[in-house]
Structure 1
Amino acid sequence: MDTTQKRFQTFEEFYPFYLNEHRNQTCRRLHFVGSTIVLALIAAALITREWNLLWLLPVVGYGFAWVGHFFFEHNRPATFKYPLFSLMGDWVMFRDMLTGRIAW
């Protein structure tokens, strides 16, 4: 079955598809930068108790990722079809980039 038509039941099934949608190095790097800024914003909000910083999380997280997809990867973000699996994939790919399992 074509992966564009398949409905993934588990994250283990989904993650290879997710990685295939992130072959472009610039796209992966933009995801990494966005995720890093998300973590920094969470830390800043916790440290300063400036909770209004938290509204920036989706703007930064999705903003960097979607620029990567629309302008470099030239595909539609998996978030639209698989929001939870896609969010999980972002953080697994982030970890895999940190540990060198996925090329920077």
Structure 2
Amino acid sequence: MLKRALDLIGDENKRAGALAVGGMAALTAGFKGAGLAMFVKGARQIEERWRADHDFDGGFKERWARAVAFYESQHQDPTNRALHMVGIPMIVGGALGLLAAPSFTPPWAASAALFGAGWALNIVGHRRFEHNAPAFFEDPLSFLAGPVWDVKNLVSRRRAASAA
């Protein structure tokens, strides 16, 4: 049934994105194994399309540099950046809780709420302020670049504050 639904989506990138998002939805619905499998499959398909579209066959270091540069280019609005500084830790913490807590327990429910609220903040930032889609739909490494970007910005802010 999932394959039939995905086949209705004509664009391969959108289909891969839908699979990854469906995986996150399955994770928040308590289907940990299936959710992770769907997410990984969608992310892998997005990466394959990215490599084909960018004629890329380099190593991880070059790929990471491109992912971070792309992520940075998609997050220029200060309000969107602020929303991401709050939303990304919520997503990461929520995802870890969803994976670690037994499904349908209070810690799992709190993790699901945190995960959903973090995504809501990021989506509002992109729709209302940045006027673009989340970077993940074009570059799956954005899922890793986002938290790294958050930490980098926090560290640089603290250094600037302590230097002042």
Match of 2:36 in 1: none
RMSD in angstroms over aligned alpha carbons? 2.9
Measured against aligned partners, the alpha-carbon deviations of 1:18-69 in whole angstroms (never above 9, x if no partner) come to 10111111111000111243466568x87xx722222224312321111111
Q: Say if 2:108 is the partner of 1:72.
A: no
Q: Say if 2:78 is the partner of 1:25.
A: yes
Match of 1:54 in 2: 111
Matched-pair contact (CA < 8 Å) for 1:69–1:76 = yes
* Alignment equivalent of 1:11, drawn from 45, 51, 64: 64
* Percent identical residues: 31
Decide which moves more: 57-66 or 86-95: 57-66
Matched-pair contact (CA < 8 Å) for 2:123–2:134 = yes
What is the alpha-carbon distance in structure 1 between the residues aligned to residue 124 and residue 153 of structure 2? Answer: 19
TM-score, normalising length: structure 1: 0.70
Specify whether residues 67 and 11 from structure 1 end up closer, same or farther in structure 2 by C-alpha distance, changes over 3 A only.
same
Specify whether residues 70 and 7 from structure 1 end up closer, same or farther in structure 2 by C-alpha distance, changes over 3 A only.
farther
Matched-pair contact (CA < 8 Å) for 2:90–2:115 = no
The alignment of Structure 1 onto Structure 2 pairs a total of residues equal to: 94
TM-score, normalising length: structure 2: 0.47
Higher helix share: 2
Measured against aligned partners, the alpha-carbon deviations of 1:44-95 in whole angstroms (never above 9, x if no partner) come to x87xx72222222431232111111111011121122223x11111101111
Which of structures 1 and 2 has the bigger CA Rg? 2
Q: Say if 2:144 is the partner of 1:88.
A: yes
Matched-pair contact (CA < 8 Å) for 1:30–1:68 = yes
SS at match of 1:76: coil
Matched-pair contact (CA < 8 Å) for 2:89–2:147 = no
Unpaired runs of 5+ residues, structure 1, are: none
1:66 partner letter: I
SS at match of 2:156: coil
Specify whether residues 13 and 39 from structure 1 end up closer, same or farther in structure 2 by C-alpha distance, changes over 3 A only.
closer
Unpaired runs of 5+ residues, structure 2, are: 1-52, 58-62, 158-164
SS at match of 2:86: helix
Matched-pair contact (CA < 8 Å) for 1:37–1:60 = yes
